[in-house]
Structure 1
Amino acid sequence: MTYTLLQGKFVIRYPDLPRQGPEPDGDTVKFLPDTPALVQTLPRRSGAPPDINRRGISVRLEAVDALETHFGATHQEFAGANAARDHLLNRLGFTSVRFFPDLPNKIESADQDTVRGHVLSNGIDANGRMIGFVHAGEHSDPDGSKIFVDEAGVDRSINAELLGIGLAYPAFYTTLPTTLRTHLAQQSITARAKESGLWPRASADRDGAATVTGLDTLQQLVIWPKLFRRIVPYLAAGHTGFDDFDAWLRDDPVNRDDRVFRLDTLEAARLHDIIEGYGDTVRMTVWPEDFVIDPDPTPAPGVR
């Protein structure tokens, strides 16, 4: 598949509004394109327009789901979440990054507020973010070029690196070409087999269920981030166990019960079909690389 090349700057701090600056994490970073008009030409996968302004647009790393440094007022295991974020920032070229003590997701200082880089994108997601493969430095082709991305090309992205060293989970959507998905899946499988990165601490998966007795417990766990993002509002609704989780997911097929295609059975399914919850335990019954997710609809507030 061809991707649109966008040259520009990655941005982690606003010098004039540092306490209102971006909040980069392991799979999302702000980008200021040299040619903002190019963003308007990208496919709108869920119908939502790009959320871009004079300070740029958020880039959601294709194929990658890192542990949440922040999701509303919650978070996932800090060690894994911060490791992915710090690796991404370092690979983009940011150093000496310090966060505000009272605003731990906003950057107080760094060696520089912006660095040159480029994104290869094939669309806009439901939250108005640009989906893409991110790279440090300039690309040799002109801004706006159509670039064919093969396995060797995707390996040059920071996305592939995060999966390959086990700092993030895979999250494959139907917008990702099959050849790239298969290649990136193998990167993640290899990292898991080597027990790299977060994998030794992973739970709520085929290797074993996670025990969740409340939000405090949940925030210490390493689990697939989309599952985490579903459990948080479930607990917030007052549920104290997972006996009702299946019904709760099914009750909202738009914002909770994502449509998926299972690669192991070659069947269309829903999120509830690949999750088991009983009592205070929950787990996924397939690995994240074994299904493909339909692009999210434009979400209700607070839903991802």
Structure 2
Amino acid sequence: MQKIVFTTVETHTLGESTRIITSGFPDIPGITMMEKKEILEQRYDHLRRALMCEPRGHKDMVGALILPAEQTASAFGVVFMDAKRWVNMCGHASIGCAMYAVEAGLVPVCEPYTEVVMDTPSGTICASVRVENKKAQEVTLHNVPSFLFADEVKVRVDGNEYRVAISFGGTFFALFDAAQLSLQLDAKDIEFLIPFTRKLLAQLNKQYEIKHPSLAITRVVNAEYYVATGEKKQKNIVIAEEGQIDRSPCGTGTSAKLAYLHAKGNLSANEIFVNESFTGAKFYGRYEAEDVIGHYRGIQPMITGSAYITGKAVYVIDENDPLTYGFTI
């Protein structure tokens, strides 16, 4: 029986892992990264499961598949994945990919800053990597244009009414003030929030028509629970609709929150917003410029954080193995 060999670079961004897949996939047809993502969903989902799920991964695993660039100015393309699905955009994984590009020499390295341009399903992004002695120190991600889609959205879960904002930061997020649940967002709250999130997002996607003005993105797939911890500071827990927990403060979630704060008039250009995960890890967000996305007014968010290589691996997919394409529990 056939064996397939994959090589990966293992990284983490503020505690959230990314498995960067550097070889093993066949050539993927399609011009744009969104087209390639759709082909991957249709033809190669078994390989995603094999690399993200147990026994090689776990239910909260995140991956990034490096592909040839879509745009001539880009260093490479990337399509994101996790243990449940292919993903349009992932901020922490983009930061990890930018760090890896510098450390692996995928781009010409300049000090003090090296620019890394990547094509993603949500659009082309740029990361500015601060470099000292040829080593990446931190990354500022210039994310895709982000905007507040809807505010004060009413949703009922378990017979109670709550209000959320729906905001886009590469994917659509439900921004949920945890004061509505009387939670301080500690690790012990996760057991309650996972099933609550499934119900919350299911209701939002059932009740409301979600549509990006120019991209084929039509669902709210993450909830960001937050509590204010100071002026322009918050603590958060981000949970995906299938129950995955982000250990970092979430780059796309931070972008969505920046867009929300801008729309509400609570954040000016170049003001720093501190987004802290329940683990204590922090992203620093800001925006320099406003943007227009369809008929929405938004921003061009910038997220700063650090990432590190934790290992390199070779994975073998052996079709004689009855569990070779993974499982979740």
Q: Provide the TM-score with structure 1 as the length reference.
A: 0.26
Greater strand percent: which structure?
Answer: 2
